Amino acid sequence: MSARPESPASPIRLVDYAPPAWRVTDAALEFDLGIDSTEVISHLTLRRDAEAPLRLDGEGLELLSIALDGAPLAAGQWRHVDNVLEVDDVRDGSVLTTRARVQPAANTALEGLYLSGSREAGFLLTQCEAEGFRHITFFPDRPDVLARYTVTLRADRARFPVLLAGGNPDGAGELPDGRHWARFVDPHPKPCYLFALVAGRLEKIERDYVTAEGRAVKLVIWSEANAIDSCHYAMDALERSMRWDEQAYGRSYDLDVFHVVATHDFNMGAMENKGLNIFNAKYLLADPDTTTDDEYKAVEAVVAHEYFHNWSGNRVTCRDWFQLSLKEGLTVFREQQFSADMNSAPLKRIEDVALLRRAQFPEDAGPLAHPVRPAEYREINNFYTATVYEKGAELVRMLAGRLGAEGFRRGMDRYFAVNDGRAATIEDFLAALGEANDIDLMPYLAWYGQSGTPRLRARGYYDATAQRYTLTLSQHTLPSATQPDKHAVPIPVKLALFDPDGAMLPLHLDGQAHGSEAVVVLDATERSLVFDRVPRPPVPSLLRGFSAPVLLECDYAPAELALLLTHDPDGFNRWEAGQQLAARAFDDCRAGGGDALEAWTGALARLFDDRNLDAALLADLLTPPGEIELAERQETVDPTHIHELRQTMQRMLGQAIGTENLERRYRELAVSGPLALDAAGKAVRRLKRRVLELMALLAPETAHALATMQFHSAEGMTDRLAALAVLVRGGAANAPEALGNFRKRHADNPLAMDKWFAVQAQIPGEPALARVQLLEQDPAFTLKNPNRARALLGTFASGNPSGFHRPDGAGYRLLAERLATLDALNPQIAARLATAFNGWQRLEPVRREAARHALSDLAGRPGLSRNLSEIVASVLSR
């Protein structure tokens, strides 16, 4: 199934939801597998819930035969029109049998059943979320139809020695002509988007595991032979995830086997298919020579995320795709909790909030803004977004904070108990949490239905005579094209007060003692808080831990932010104060100087010499907001100017620290020794990279010499890639040599080669375009592989603002042309890369007109997929 032109679909609306008239109670599927042609026989046991014709989805299928209750149907008894199979005279309890043919090797969209890798050595696999199952067989392809599956696979043993499907193994054997078969049964009802199969030549590692409930489970990870030695870290992460979920949520695994398969050809990060998870290799394979420290964390997090879906997504699924965040936002939150427990909670919170601001806040502020639960969609694959995932997780975090740890666990126990085996809604989730704690949480539903990032305004007044501090909080959300009238939402504000010496004050709020921290809920447009027994003018610390996903507007003096940066005992809150101060310092750079710039550089220079400060935290403190985040502060965006100003403020930070001080610290951190993958080793590498980056702005020759030595002596990918990035982005004379060395070393490793492409796509400024065009001609580049397309085009368009947003519009034209080509191969990836145009209306006039012209040309091309046309139309229309 290559992509095909599609006419625009009518919007699907939440208000139009109706339960299915027909359900499938049991699905018995038989596959005769082949690379060019696979035949699928489907036996569906049907249950009628309402008077209506039986209508099944089916796209790109060649229907070979159809029978009802064993009797073949005549042509007039069924119709297959516009990707819908309609069958007459079906009774409650009937069994519908269809035989259809699909073509895996021709399927470049990687949706349904397709071939990963080459014809000679690749393997077959499936991807069914959100609507891929209709590309395999005829079925009511919606998440509220839950069935029990029995799957039988037949194939040539030599070509497909491994046969896997979801559920428990239920037999295997030999067939004539060198063929064999295997059967799998899943006793748990599930939606069809969780169906999966894999067939091919794969190797495995396995481990025995016993759940907290005493079930013996075989854990098996599969990959191609040349990658199997890189699966051990993922196996360890899987076992940690299973044990953590038992302890934190009381959730145990429920099948006899848990299969995980790695593929290099995958549109998503991973897929939680029941009993047969399929992973983008990027998030499963890990070894020190090819995997960075950040990638190790990502492998652990994604392995956990997909496993946690076994309950939050599989056992309890979503009623319809409007409820997507019910499984994704909740599971991201669970994954974040796990990662915080396995690593550093403050550093994890910094990572999560930085991602939210970098990816979701711009989405919420641009033409692609939508609520966590959208009111309508045309193409559901376009709603696997930062809003649904990351903002959705923040809403769950707010609820967890509101209920407290014990109350949230109590609510989650009730949610799973009441909804096990059901397709649930956001309302079901809020009701379970609230009922378990005798609290009405339905006001939080407003968060799910409203797009945009609320702005929290804080104003303080200190009465020295009464020793009273009054803090007035107010909220507003900017109107959007689809929601001109925004409503107040409940905003939990975790806060503390600091005295001028940096000590936390005991809180006496509205006549009650609260310790040194309190959480208040702003559920109206405005609220005033009165603190008594405040001996001196305090400095408020607001939204501690980022207690709500809002934009804070508070007229801090630079010295007050510097005080919080220096004295707050919590690492995340120090970082948050530093980010606010850095944003103010950036504004000072635009104005030619100011108190904030001096306060920011001075505070960090002092912290740099504090050897007791965690090295990883220091590295994060030394990193100002990125160019994308800083652009969100501008009414009119000039990406080149933003890049130059950010470089200037970092250079001034380096000067405040001192070149000699930076070099001395670098050499302390660069002491050679065996590669340590523990937290301390990772922290050293993180700070070493940041120090080297600052040195490159002050003393490029010295920094490039140190980077060259680090590149050649690096024991692992983290140090090697950090050094390469400094050389390449800094235009070092020996950068081509280093790139050649890297390629020679890692030419046979696809994930390492993705890094080789990405680091070059991040060359700042106008030279980036020519490099991207050159790399497109490289034999290792292909648009058919999603990871490779994202590494080059995605990094260039979404991760290199000064390179992509050229004044002459050449970056826009290049991306638009490649999107049209990619759309014919893989519409999902084309649509996701197209989101790089989000926010083009705020560009300065020359760039804005160039972007508009490129988008208009793209929109006018005939035959665009529904995926891409929806994104382009949305971006252009607002």
Instruction: Give pLDDT tens digits for 375-391.
Output: 999 999 999 999 999 99
Q: How does residue 699 score in pLDDT terms, banded at 50, 70 and 90?
A: very high
Q: Considering only the C-alpha atoms of the chain, give the largest distance between any 2 of them, rounded to a whole number of Å.
A: 96
pLDDT of 476 = 97
pLDDT for the residue numbered 765: 98
- Helices 392-419 & 324-342 angle (0-180, nearest 10): 100
Residue 7 has pLDDT above 90, yes or no: no
Mean pLDDT on 698-715 = 98
Mode of pairing for the β-strands spanning 95-102 and 38-48: antiparallel
What is the Cα–Cα distance from 547 to 664, expressed in whole angstroms? 38
d(CA 695, CA 687): 12
CA distance 375 to 367: 15
pLDDT in tens, 762-795: 999 999 999 999 999 999 999 999 999 999 999 9
Phi, psi of 256 (to 5 degrees): -85, -15
Start-end of H helices in 658-734: 659-669, 679-698, 700-713, 717-729
pLDDT band at 1 (very low <50, low <70, confident <90, very high): low
User: Mean per-residue pLDDT for 665-682?
Assistant: 93
As a whole-number percent, the residues of the chain with pLDDT over 70 amount to: 99
Residue with tokens 């609230």: 434
| Span 195-222, average pLDDT | 98
Instruction: Check the CA dihedral 231-233-235-237 and report its sign.
Output: negative
What's the pLDDT tens digit per position in 30-80? 999 999 999 999 999 999 999 999 999 999 999 999 999 999 999 999 999
At 577, which amino acid appears?
A
Cα 63 to the chain's mean position, in Å? 37
The span from the CA of 174 to the CA of 873, in Å, is 53
Angle in degrees, CA 541, 476, 455, rounded to 5: 40
Residue 510's pLDDT is: 87
| Cis amide leading into 199 (omega within 30) | no
Q: Smallest Cα–Cα separation from 783: which of 757, 820, 822?
A: 822
Residue 672 is predicted with a pLDDT of 77
User: Catalytic: which of 131, 306, 328, 870?
Assistant: 306
As a whole number of angstroms, the distance between CA 23 and CA 147 comes to: 8
Assess whether pLDDT exceeds 60 at residue 3: no
Q: Please write the tens of the pLDDT for every residue from 390-412.
A: 999 999 999 999 999 999 999 99
Work out the average pLDDT over 146-170.
Answer: 98
Q: Which residues neighbour 256 within 8 Å (Cβ) at sequence distance 6 or greater?
A: 168, 169, 215, 216, 217, 218
Burial of 268 (0-12, 13-18, 19+ CB in 10 A): middle
Nearest Cα residue to 760 out of 751, 747, 769: 769
- pLDDT-derived band of residue 28, with 50, 70 and 90 as boundaries? very high
CA distances from 311 to 75, 395, 658, 858 (A): 43, 19, 52, 42
Q: Is 306 a catalytic residue?
A: yes
- For the question of whether the overall pTM of this predicted structure is more than 0.95, the answer is yes
Q: What is the mean pLDDT of residues 688-712?
A: 98
What is the arithmetic mean of pLDDT over 12-23? Answer: 98
Find out whether 647 and 578 touch, Cβ atoms under 8 Å.
no
| Strand pairing report for 422-424 and 376-377 | unpaired
DSSP H/E element including 811: helix 810-825
In this predicted structure, what is the pLDDT of residue 482? 86
Task: Go through 124-153 and write b for each residue having 16 or more CB atoms within 10 A of its CB, e for each that does not.
Answer: bbbbbbbbbbbbbbbbbbbbbbbbbbbbbb
pLDDT attached to residue 593: 85
Place of tokens 């549109």: 267
Neighbours of 525 (CB within 10 A): 11
Separation of alpha carbons 157 and 648, rounded Å: 63
Q: Give the separation between CA 648 and CA 653, rounded to whole angstroms.
A: 9
Q: What's the pLDDT band for 842 if we cut at 50, 70, 90?
A: very high
Residue range 171-183: average pLDDT?
Answer: 98
Give backbone dihedrals phi and psi of 272, rounded to 5 degrees, phi first: -90, 25
pLDDT attached to residue 4? 45
Question: In this structure, are residues 493 and 474 in contact, taking their beta carbons and an 8 Å threshold?
Answer: no
Pairing label, strands 276-280, 270-271? antiparallel
Q: Given a cut of 80, is residue 871 above it in pLDDT?
A: yes
- Burial class of 441 by CB neighbour count within 10 A (0 to 12, 13 to 18, 19+): buried
Tokens of 309: 């879906």
Secondary structure of 534-564 in HEC code, one letter for each residue:
CCCCCEEEECCCCCCCCEEEECCCHHHHHHH
Give me the mean pLDDT over the 149-171 stretch.
98
pLDDT digits (tens, 9 = 90+) for 464-519: 999 999 999 999 999 988 899 999 999 999 999 999 999 999 999 988 999 999 99
- Cβ 266 vs Cβ 231: under 8 Å: no
Query: Mean pLDDT score of the chain, rounded to an integer?
Result: 97
User: Is residue 330 a contact partner of residue 392, using CB atoms and an 8 Å limit?
Assistant: yes
| pLDDT for the residue numbered 53 | 95
Q: Report in angstroms the alpha-carbon separations of 222 from 114, 202, 263, 480.
A: 17, 6, 9, 47
